[in-house]
Structure 1
Amino acid sequence: MNEFRIACFAGLLAAFGLARPASAAERPSVVLVITDDQGYGDLAAHGNAMIKTPNLDKLHERSVRLADFHVDPTCAPTRAALLTGRYSARVGVWHTIMGRSILRGDEVTMADVFQRAGYRTGMFGKWHLGDNHPYRPQDRGFDEVLCHGGGGVGQAPDYWGNDYFDDTYFHNGKPEKQAGYCTDVWFNAAIEFIRSTPDRPFFCYLATNAPHAPYLVDPKYSEPYRARGVPSPMAEFYGMISNIDENLARLTRTLADLKRIDNTIFIFMTDNGTAAGAAGGKSPSGGWRGFNAAMRGQKGSQYDGGHRVPCFIHWPAGQLAAGRDVSQLTAHVDLLPTLIELCGLETPASVSFDGTSIARPLRGEPAGWPDRTLFVAVNRLDHPEPWRRTAVLTERWRLIDGKELYDITADPGQAADISARQPEVVARLRSQYESHWRDISRRFDQYVRLVLGAEEENPATISSHDWHAENVPWNHRQIAQMPEWNGVWQIEAAVAGRYRFALMQRPPEARFPLRAVSARLKVGGFDEVQPVAQGAVEAVFEVDLPAGPASMQTWLVEAGGAQRGAFYVRVERLPARRK
């Protein structure tokens, strides 16, 4: 059945608890900046002697720092957990593609909570939790949105031809041409959002796609690193971070100029371990090998280097002491319950958070803080498997894949497996993981379906990014290579009616002639083949669909027999016929 029911969702919001809210006048605003693929070691304040991040260093100096803060090892799962306060797999997100990066429609987001409290909410940059209604940021509590598609600029759901410079992004769902470099565009939009909200508290979620690959940046940022012996692509990666650092100064200066910086909770964090800031086993030819703060693992790893990241929280009006570390084990799932407490917001009573408020440790009151257990997994599959690339975390221990055990206090580099010497610890942590798996896996058999024919997005364009398949062409470069791959979309017709399906090999704006002589569409009980006219940019089928779920697959076949799925399909529910 449909993952998104308006009535159900309204019920969730109506069921918010009765925690005493602060008055609107005294509530702080919130800015949450999250960068993409920047690791713990990719800033100077953490000991990197090569990178130049003066403004991040200043923020580090003036903030409370979560010194043992963990996220998921890849992007979409981290965002899902961050914005819901619940484990990513629980809310339907355990991959970055394959239809498994879409946040379940019945989840309450951080933006929903702030919006209901009267905040103006804005989202700028990378969303990566669904590109179609009802999963877009504007459907999930954000009043103002400027974002790219998919998990990065140039990925399949993104506007065709985007390359970080002078791109077309989606402004409240509509494509709009922008001028300048992507990171500059996001910060410009966030600054304008803040300036245009003088009389209300705001929640600004600024999620840069940088420094995620492809590593494209003005050479003025990368060349200084090249000159000092940093190899490519690390020099470009560092250059992208330097550009972020420069923009961070503009943002904080705006808050200061508006006299709002003291009563703004300003959070900086990243979404996973470094992608290109540590050489690892790649052995670049001479020069700088990068810095990973002596941690094992990088992006995508179950070791700490894959998921321990920076998190700085700055709020002078909240009496958060500057320059202090919180040593307790914390995670992305803690930030929503923490912000609810700090801002005096109403708690959604129908939601059970996996995280907990860390307001007390932030205020320097750690007494009685429990030795908790957290869970990390890398399950980049259509159907998750238990114990696959997992980490069970406590303040002292790391259990990896249910087998390796590390005392993180004595061995932060996770070099010496002591599982044979601590079998009782292994058994205890394994038991906790098994209980956790039983709890989060209850809905793993349910798809988060692409909803077609809804009034809020009709027509809708879907892409191969969300195929359920072994091979998924998830970016423009792959699609341009025309791989002979295919996959299935799991869809839901919002209402019964006649639907028009236009099969394409590029999105509508590209107007790309099909390389095919025949096309086939299979959706629900419909399965037909038709010829493709030479030069046609789409193959069109009209189908009567009942309301409800269905599987959908397409084929475009060349004269020589080569075939592949349509990488894009534009689906429109047609007006009802007059009787």
Structure 2
Amino acid sequence: MKIHSLLFILLFLFSFKNLSAQSKPSPQLSPKKHYNLVLIVADDLGYGDLGFTGSTQIKTPHLDQLATNGVTFTQGYVSSAVCSPSRAGFITGINQVEFGHDNNLAGVEPGFDIAYNGMPLSQKTIADHLNKLGYVNGLIGKWHLGKEPQFHPLKRGFDEFWGYTGGGHDYFESLPNGKGYKEPLESNFKTPDPITYITDDVGNESVDFIERHKDEPFFLFAAFNAPHTPMQALEEDLALYQHIEDKKRRTYAAMVHRLDLNVGKIMTSLEEQGLSENTLVVFFSDNGGPTDSNASLNAPYRGQKGILLEGGIHVPFVMNLPGLLPEGLIYQEQVTSLDVVPTFLALAGDTETSMDMFSGVDLIPHLTGKTPPLADREMTWKFTISRAIREGDWKLVSVPDRMPMLYNLAEDPSEQNDLALKHMDKTTYLLKKLGTWDVNLPHPVFLEGAVWKKRQLGLYDREYQLEQPIEN
């Protein structure tokens, strides 16, 4: 009897222990840390028109703060000197001429097929890759990678789109049946409100995207129109720059000011939502400023949008991620917009995509000291009539109507002294390397109008302002 009683007591205690264990709530696992990804792209911004790149005329405190708190790349490049091919490059991570996206996207030229008038469907975008990792992807603003339905951003990995598919837009107005810069805004998640000022609208919609998706991994592509033509600014912004005598330059300064304010909105939203510490923000311009059309300034670099001198492809470039990237780092080695996709994917935890498929590299290890700096990097460019190659400090540019041009950028960043004849061995070596790369490229899948070729050639002979304006 005693043995039975003892067994009963032991069995009761054992059962009670199990019931107690089952009744306790399971410990909550901390959510897996994820990084949000924000890409902010200006359109036709001059290199020398921000405070952190040397401007004293145009005030850009929010972009300056982004640079001060993050990493500034003094040798940041894009893969093309014009909008559409540059975007095809940084949205895929692959040099766009290697899949036939050589020209700027416009109408369909004779002999070409409208079905191919956009970024080739064979290419995956950063949004396609991030979809597989559970990210929600939003594009706010400009697309310019194809207007036909098959090229639409919602078919290229993006979950949300608010903006326009063309290459530019009026800042104040869109029309229901409008074409070109007056085309209607579109969205798949709301009925777009009438435009107030499109730079503000892109900023506001970007903030709205952040607030709606703050609790999940997201990728936001904030594709601003500013300061691309048409030259249109708000009166209150023009008043800030009334001391600038040149009307076009005054309007341009006001447009850049408004761009800066809206970058500030995005950064404030990330902070208010508690997302600053786990959000990588990247900012650059899609190409150099077209000094002849929007009064931008690429100082100290010669050239402009449309050509492969430094002024066309050397752009303001910043990465910001508090807690991971060094604050205030001035990184002096070459980087490219083609590095954005592999950097984003590595930070998002992608272990399946082969990084060898990309033209760029993951920058994070180089910026945090885990791997050596990217010294003596080779870069190649091709845009319609122009070809260029950079290897270390040496850069060679080739256009149809003259001998190749050779510059040592360490000694001559403004490309004033052509050394091609003085260093024939270097000229021959780089020209052969560039030519071998060029003849292995596929044919362009579409062409822009032939009139642009002559115009681009003329831009190599223009005089460019290489110093900041003197302020009174």
Which TM-score applies when normalising by structure 1?
A: 0.66
- For residues 408 and 262 of structure 1, do their structure 2 counterparts lie closer, same or farther at Cα, with a shift above 3 Å needed? same
Corresponding residue for residue 347 of structure 2:
342
- For residues 469 and 174 of structure 1, do their structure 2 counterparts lie closer, same or farther at Cα, with a shift above 3 Å needed? farther
Q: Which residue of the other structure, out of 256, 261, 270, is the alignment partner of 1:255?
A: 270
Q: Which residue of the other structure, out of 25, 35, 55, is the alignment partner of 1:28?
A: 35
Q: Which residue of the other structure, out of 391, 398, 422, is the alignment partner of 2:388?
A: 391
Contact conserved, 1:113 with 1:346, CA < 8 A, in 2?
Answer: no
Q: Which secondary structure does the structure 1 equivalent of 2:221 belong to? A: strand
Q: Which residue of the other structure, out of 381, 401, 419, is the alignment partner of 1:376?
A: 381
Structure 1, 30-39 or 362-371: larger mean CA deviation: 362-371
Shift of 1:359: 2.1
- For residues 170 and 333 of structure 1, do their structure 2 counterparts lie closer, same or farther at Cα, with a shift above 3 Å needed? same
Q: Does residue 158 of structure 2 align to residue 152 of structure 1?
A: no
Corresponding residue for residue 423 of structure 1:
424
The amino acid of 2:386's aligned partner reads R
Shift of 1:310: 1.1
- For residues 470 and 423 of structure 1, do their structure 2 counterparts lie closer, same or farther at Cα, with a shift above 3 Å needed? closer
Corresponding residue for residue 459 of structure 2:
none
Shift of 1:91: 2.8
After superposition, residues 283-432 of structure 1 pair within 5 angstroms as 291-318=297-324, 320-349=325-354, 352-365=357-370, 367=372, 369-379=374-384, 388-401=385-398, 403-432=404-433
- In the aligned structure 2, how far is the partner of 1:116 from the partner of 1:158? 37
> CA offsets per residue over residues 515-538 of structure 1, 9 Å max, x none?
xxxxxxxxxxxxxxxxxxxxxxxx
Q: Which secondary structure does the structure 1 equivalent of 2:199 belong to? A: helix
Q: Which secondary structure does the structure 1 equivalent of 2:326 belong to? A: coil
Contact conserved, 2:290 with 2:296, CA < 8 A, in 1?
Answer: no
Shift of 1:64: 0.6
After superposition, residues 61-460 of structure 1 pair within 5 angstroms as 61-71=68-78, 72-96=80-104, 97-99=106-108, 102-153=118-169, 160-161=177-178, 168-172=184-188, 176-225=192-241, 227-276=242-291, 291-318=297-324, 320-349=325-354, 352-365=357-370, 367=372, 369-379=374-384, 388-401=385-398, 403-441=404-442, 444=443, 447=445
Contact conserved, 1:178 with 1:185, CA < 8 A, in 2?
Answer: no
- For residues 422 and 101 of structure 1, do their structure 2 counterparts lie closer, same or farther at Cα, with a shift above 3 Å needed? farther
The amino acid of 2:246's aligned partner reads P
Shift of 1:32: 0.5
- For residues 376 and 154 of structure 1, do their structure 2 counterparts lie closer, same or farther at Cα, with a shift above 3 Å needed? same
Shift of 1:250: 1.3
Contact conserved, 2:229 with 2:293, CA < 8 A, in 1?
Answer: no
Shift of 1:292: 2.6
- For residues 180 and 164 of structure 1, do their structure 2 counterparts lie closer, same or farther at Cα, with a shift above 3 Å needed? farther
- For residues 136 and 175 of structure 1, do their structure 2 counterparts lie closer, same or farther at Cα, with a shift above 3 Å needed? farther
- In the aligned structure 1, how far is the partner of 2:382 from the partner of 2:221? 25
- In the aligned structure 1, how far is the partner of 2:350 from the partner of 2:74? 26
Flag the structure with more relative contact order, 1 or 2, with Cα contacts below 8 A and sequence separation at least 6: 2
- In the aligned structure 1, how far is the partner of 2:382 from the partner of 2:139? 27
Identity %: 28
Q: Number of aligned pairs?
A: 408
Contact conserved, 1:297 with 1:304, CA < 8 A, in 2?
Answer: yes
The amino acid of 2:379's aligned partner reads L
- In the aligned structure 2, how far is the partner of 1:62 from the partner of 1:158? 41
- For residues 101 and 182 of structure 1, do their structure 2 counterparts lie closer, same or farther at Cα, with a shift above 3 Å needed? farther
Contact conserved, 1:55 with 1:246, CA < 8 A, in 2?
Answer: yes
- For residues 152 and 235 of structure 1, do their structure 2 counterparts lie closer, same or farther at Cα, with a shift above 3 Å needed? same
Shift of 1:440: 2.5
- In the aligned structure 2, how far is the partner of 1:164 from the partner of 1:239? 20
Contact conserved, 2:342 with 2:355, CA < 8 A, in 1?
Answer: no
- In the aligned structure 1, how far is the partner of 2:412 from the partner of 2:117? 34
Corresponding residue for residue 477 of structure 1:
none
Q: Which secondary structure does the structure 2 equivalent of 1:440 belong to? A: coil
- In the aligned structure 2, how far is the partner of 1:35 from the partner of 1:368? 27
Structure 1, 86-95 or 59-68: larger mean CA deviation: 86-95
- For residues 105 and 377 of structure 1, do their structure 2 counterparts lie closer, same or farther at Cα, with a shift above 3 Å needed? same
Shift of 1:276: 3.8
Shift of 1:123: 0.2
Structure 1 portions without partners, runs of 5+: 1-22, 280-288, 380-387, 449-466, 473-579
- For residues 48 and 159 of structure 1, do their structure 2 counterparts lie closer, same or farther at Cα, with a shift above 3 Å needed? farther
- In the aligned structure 1, how far is the partner of 2:119 from the partner of 2:180? 26
Contact conserved, 1:234 with 1:276, CA < 8 A, in 2?
Answer: no
Root-mean-square deviation (CA), in Å? 2.8
Give the helix-richer structure, 1 or 2.
Answer: 2
- In the aligned structure 2, how far is the partner of 1:43 from the partner of 1:440? 36
Shift of 1:290: 6.4
Corresponding residue for residue 469 of structure 2:
none
> CA offsets per residue over residues 248-292 of structure 1, 9 Å max, x none?
11111111111001110011111111124999xxxxxxxxx8643
- For residues 326 and 144 of structure 1, do their structure 2 counterparts lie closer, same or farther at Cα, with a shift above 3 Å needed? same
- In the aligned structure 1, how far is the partner of 2:70 from the partner of 2:389? 28
Structure 1, 111-120 or 172-181: larger mean CA deviation: 172-181
Contact conserved, 1:92 with 1:101, CA < 8 A, in 2?
Answer: no
Corresponding residue for residue 24 of structure 2:
none
Shift of 1:198: 2.8
Shift of 1:160: 4.1
The amino acid of 2:268's aligned partner reads R
Give the strand-richer structure, 1 or 2.
Answer: 1
Q: Which residue of the other structure, out of 45, 60, 75, is the alignment partner of 1:38?
A: 45
The amino acid of 1:85's aligned partner reads G
- In the aligned structure 1, how far is the partner of 2:149 from the partner of 2:296? 41
Which TM-score applies when normalising by structure 2?
A: 0.80
Q: Which secondary structure does the structure 2 equivalent of 1:399 belong to? A: strand
